[in-house]
């Protein structure tokens, strides 16, 4: 997720900040009002919320909102977890929150949120539902399969990470 953000928006600026135009909006994205936005439809798993942490619950609720094109008031009022380069889940949450608060999102923001919705969120919840090591190869294959739709520049970044993470 971090490499994806850097390839689209630019480098980091310390342990909790980004230098790019999208990254600079992320720390205060929850303060912006929700506007009309284009839905990014995707199939999401049905999970039991009591089994999820606060950040995980926020990810699930916000991804349902982005997929439907409507953010319920109780979700709009929630604050995503703190921005930190080691916490990819909160980066994904903040990108979605920024997206639903931007009337005319840039191509870069749409690219990032589309990646979050079509690759990161489904992959994250797949692993959450089946965390066993015996499912690792299936998860890896599914991650590769999910990246088919992404732009070449982004695909190159993803493949560099895939190849680096292979043992």
Mean pLDDT computed over every residue of the chain:
87
- At residue 159, the pLDDT reads 66
More confident residue, 41 or 2: 41
More confident residue, 91 or 148: 91
- At residue 6, the pLDDT reads 79
Reduced to 3 states (helix: H, G, I; strand: E, B; else coil), residue 151 is: coil
Reduced to 3 states (helix: H, G, I; strand: E, B; else coil), residue 12 is: strand
**pLDDT, tens digit (0-9, with 9 covering 90-100), for 39-77:** 999 988 777 777 889 999 999 999 999 999 999 999 999
Residue 35 has pLDDT above 80, yes or no: yes
pTM as predicted: 0.86
């Amino acid at each position: 997720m971090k490499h994806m953000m850097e390839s689209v928006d630019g480098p980091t600026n310390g342990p909790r900040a980004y230098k790019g135009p999208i990254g600079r909006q992320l720390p205060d994205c929850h303060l912006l009002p929700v506007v009309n936005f284009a839905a990014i439809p995707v199939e999401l798993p049905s999970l039991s919320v009591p089994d999820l942490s606060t950040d995980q619950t926020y990810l699930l609720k916000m991804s349902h909102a982005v997929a439907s094109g409507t953010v319920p008031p109780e979700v709009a009022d929630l604050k995503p977890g703190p921005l930190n380069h080691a916490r990819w889940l909160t980066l994904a949450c903040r990108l979605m929150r920024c997206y639903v608060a931007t009337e005319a999102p840039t191509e870069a923001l749409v690219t990032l949120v589309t990646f979050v919705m079509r690759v990161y969120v489904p992959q994250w919840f797949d692993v959450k539902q089946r965390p066993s090591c015996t499912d690792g190869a299936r998860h890896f294959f599914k991650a590769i399969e999910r990246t088919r739709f992404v732009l070449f520049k982004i695909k190159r970044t993803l493949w560099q990470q895939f190849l680096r993470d292979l043992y």
